[in-house]
Chains A and B, each alone.
Chain A
């Protein structure tokens, strides 16, 4: 198998600053983040949501509650996969009814993960509004889904891989683009 060529899209410092900037954008566009809650999509959406909440807290003193969403059971590709992935729990310790929610994920690609996440959220109640925040938008959407907050837009080919590393999970902050030579 030919080795893939990796290029760095964001360094550790750039990754940290990008997340910080996203937090400030959320504060600006949501009116001091009043009444919003952040929903991190497992896995890397979760530490991202926690960091965004930290920025919101520092900027406004407002506490944005965090929920964790596992979308495994809502995936549309289970029948294509030869095996079912392990299910993890969804932990949203507040009612989503009438709430202003921001879904948080690391990479926006086809939009199918977000479709699954929206389905999952609506099984829990009826939010007032759902927005999307992603660290990287790599294009190639297969559904009419867009993010309100984007850290970095990247031109990719469909077969490329965007690798997001976050300190909490991977021990370092870094975003890499892997492409076939």
Chain B
């Protein structure tokens, strides 16, 4: 298997083999998280720009940790303090960043497609760290790695995603990954957050607004964060959301007994998830975070080096 692309803009365009390859590479980096000395010099002298035009804590720290572990330097752009606040266009901002000669740019932006727009205009690899309502590919990959670690496989899984599907790029990246492995995906949540056209994204997808109908048989249950500001459009009181959709122990018990419970974070305990579920042995919340660093190390390593070469004829 070879790695033939320059950027990671989404999981939609990845083939099943490419995803398998990326997960295999990530596993090698999982091992490094367990070493007493986690810092490598592999990408010494290389630098990554972390251009977060939208605020982020965990994804930005995860990429920064991954880069640091590989010995690469990072340069940070944060929305609050950036020149975009002063009216600079996206293309001017990223060209300025490119002029500082980084080897890779990691970009998060509120506009869907912004990383693609940047990738077309810059000469360096671009990693999408979340664009608008479109994709968050490294999250899709780290979730797949976590599932495969826990369940021992990725094939033919029943996956139930609960919450604000409409606004979730995490859901979209996961759907693209898991459906390529034959996943049967059920989307569950308030009608206003379930786009009727979404089942067209992949085969074997269905919408089920009733949570007790959505969970039976699930191997994987993904709970999405409720963005409280979105509860106002149109209005759905938080109490009502909790009553209808909060992941409680009783609801989780409807899924398969070995089902994994995932949440991309940050969690709001007591809103979309009952603390007893968040802390249950089925929960993979912290494994997802640890795996995120491994996946991002693999991505930075592969993208700053391009496609894998044939083994050198005579290593020493």
Q: Which residue of A lies closest to B301 (CB)?
A: A84
Q: Counting CB contacts under 8 A, is B304 at the interface?
A: yes
The segment from B79-87, B210-218, B308-316 that touches chain A is: B308-316
- B313 with A123: CB separation less than 8 A: no
How many residues of chain B get a CB closer than 8 Å to chain A's CBs? 32
User: Could you say which of B36, B40, B301, B305 contacts A74, with CB atoms under 8 Å apart?
Assistant: B40
Contacts A81-B309, A82-B309, A87-B301 given; indicate if A107 touches B37 (C-beta within 8 A). no
Q: How far is the CA of A50 from the CA of B32 in the complex (A)?
A: 24
B51 to chain A, nearest CB (A): 23
Interface residues on A, range: 20 to 34
Q: A89-B31, A111-B316, A161-B313 are in contact. Are A83 and B36 (CB under 8 A)?
A: no
* A124 part of interface (Cβ distance < 8 Å): yes
Closest 5 CB pairs of A and B: A84-B305, A110-B316, A123-B37, A109-B316, A87-B28
- Count A/B pairs, Cβ under 8 Å: 80
Chain A contacts of B314 at CB under 8 A? 107, 109, 161-162
A41 CB to closest chain B CB (Å) equals 9
Interface: A85 (CB within 8 A): yes
Query: Could you tell me which B residues sit within 8 Å of A by CB distance?
Result: 25, 27-29, 31-32, 35-43, 45, 70, 298, 301-302, 304-309, 311-316
**Chain A interface (Cβ < 8 Å from any Cβ of B):** 70, 72-75, 77-79, 81-91, 107-114, 122-125, 142, 161-162
- Which residue of A is nearest B27, CB measured? A89
What is the CA–CA distance of A125 and B34 in the complex, to the nearest angstrom? 12
Q: How far is the CB of B172 from chain A (nearest CB, A)?
A: 28
